[in-house]
Every structure is written in C-alpha cells, then in structure tokens.
Structure 1
Amino acid sequence: MRRTIPAAVRDGHGSPGAEAAGRGEQRTERLRTEFPFELPRGYVDESGSLHRTGVMRLATARDELIPLRDDRVRENSAYLSVVLISRVLVRLGTIEDIHPGIVEDLFASDLAFLQDFYRRINAEGHTRAAVTCPSCQESFAVDLAGGGRLGES
C-alpha cells in the first residue's frame, strides 16, 4: 500500500500544495508506510533459525477493527495486541506469512518492542526516541528503525 501526500501537508505547512501552487506546480512526496526494525532478541522458528530484522507497516482502521471480532480477543483483551501486531508485520526475517501464532512465540521483550514500535509509527508518526546516556547524562535521539542496537555505533 503506497500513498502520496503533498509535501506542504506532510510537513505541516498550510494547505495541500499551497507553496508550490503559488509557483504553478504541486510537489508530492511518498508517505512512508513501511518501517524496518531489529528485534532485541529475535524470533526462533521451528527449525531453530533466528529472525531479528523485519518490516512493520502503518495500520489501517480495518487492522484495528477486525481483531475486536476475534473470539480470542473477546475472551482475553490482552490478546488484542497479538492479533494487531500479526496484521501489521509485513516480514520477520525470511518469514512473510505472519500470523498470531508467530507473535505468541516471541520473547516478551520483543513483543514489548513491537508494541512500542507500533505506537510510535501509528500514533506519533515517527520512529525516533529520546534517550539519555547513562555515563555522561547527555540527551539525544535515536531512530528505532535504524537497524542498529542501542550502544552500538
């Protein structure tokens, strides 16, 4: 799913194409809908292979509504995040058919990472997080989608 949005709207400046329209042109850029990530621990499949990298896409209204009809979610509301995450994961390592069973088998730290990642890209619109160095107490931002792990260069 690829969508375009005028740069002026994407950047929060005025109406669609307001700046470009004054010049007789309309500049559009692609809306980023997929975000790569690297799990803290990784998913171990049935054959013992470790899958740490993946791609999550932006959620649609349907992605958030359909799980509410799922019997597992009706019985246990905590299961909502499992179904929701399984719907928006495009790829996990070499696995492209992501289903709730795979998400159930993630380590708790990886599920927590994906839940936070989901919130960041869908509610906040970015994958940056503010962090503070434990040694020097300097604050800076890191991109969680960058693929690197905290503390690595």
Structure 2
Amino acid sequence: MTFQSEFPFTLPRGFVDAEGRVHKEGTMRLATAKDEVTPLQDYRVKTNPGYLAVILLARVVTRLGDLPQIYPQVIEDLPVADFAYLQTMYRRINEHGHNRLSVTCPACEKTFEVEAEPVGES
C-alpha cells in the first residue's frame, strides 16, 4: 500500500476566470498542522471565523485548471456547490486518508468503495 498525499478532483460547476474560461479539474493535498494553525493568525479569520475555510482551501488546493496559483479570492469566487464539495473532500482525505465512499448496492446488498465524484452538472 502506498501513501497518497495528493488527490485529484472535478468540481461540479467550476471556477470561471476573467476571460470566461471554466476551471474544473484540480488537485488537493493533505493538510499539515501548519495549514490549520497559520490561518488563525490572519486578520480576516479573526474578524470572521467563517473565513477560515476559504484560507485553508486556498492553501491545500494545489491546482485548479491552468490557473497559475490558487489565492483566497479564487476560493471566494467558487459557486457554493464547488465550495461545499471541496470542504467535504478536505474532511474526507484528511480524516480517512482517501477520497472514497463506502456504498451498498440496493439490489444485492453488497458493500464496496467508490471514488467520490461530484453530483450535478458534468
């Protein structure tokens, strides 16, 4: 078994840049303790604790389409469905070490794992 530190994803809707291009494919890495502690010192988090998720995701999303860098502004401008998808993925990979879901077939009742995929538009 190999250790995986980066996980690919496809956003349900995608980030639309200034030129109108949609960026959906990306990569998220596992968080470090520093990733979780450093944002707590940011003035935006001190004045609005809800902003913690924005900064945290900007730190761990390593690629989104062909954007040169992921800034908090990129995360702020994501559709709500994409923001929620990334938050769920963050929790899944950092708590379980993978981006798989355990599912049960309704017909045969067999349980197996599948890679998590976004729901909605493709």
TM interval, shorter chain, is 0.7 to 0.9
Structure 1 partner of 2:47: 75
Deviations 1:83-141 (A, max 9, x none): 000000110000131010000000000000000000111111110113467x8696653
For 1:90, which of 50, 53, 62 is the aligned residue? 62
CA distance in 1, matches of 2:50, 2:108: 36
CA contact (8 A) 1:90 1:96 kept: no
Q: Which runs of 4+ in 1 moved over 6 A?
A: none
Identical-residue share of aligned pairs (%) = 50
CA contact (8 A) 1:129 1:142 kept: yes
CA distance in 2, matches of 1:150, 1:118: 16
**Counterparts in 2 of 1:48-127, with a 5 A limit?**
48-127=20-99
Q: Give the match's secondary structure for 1:51.
A: strand
The 3 A distance-change label for structure 1 pair 103 and 36 is: same
CA distance in 2, matches of 1:137, 1:113: 29
User: Which structure would you say has the larger RCO, counting Cα contacts within 8 Å and 6 or more residues apart?
Assistant: 2
CA distance in 2, matches of 1:45, 1:128: 29
Q: Give the match's secondary structure for 1:65.
A: helix
CA distance in 2, matches of 1:131, 1:44: 32
CA distance in 2, matches of 1:149, 1:108: 13
CA contact (8 A) 2:4 2:97 kept: no
Structure 2 letter corresponding to 1:55: T
Deviations 1:49-74 (A, max 9, x none): 00000000111111101100001001
- Count how many residue pairs are aligned between Structure 1 and Structure 2: 119
CA distance in 1, matches of 2:13, 2:60: 20
The 3 A distance-change label for structure 1 pair 93 and 61 is: same
Instruction: Indicate the structure (1 or 2) with the bigger Cα radius of gyration.
Output: 1
In the alignment, structure 1 segments of 5+ residues that lack a partner are: 1-6, 8-28
**Counterparts in 2 of 1:14-33, with a 5 A limit?**
29=2, 31-33=3-5
CA distance in 2, matches of 1:126, 1:118: 10
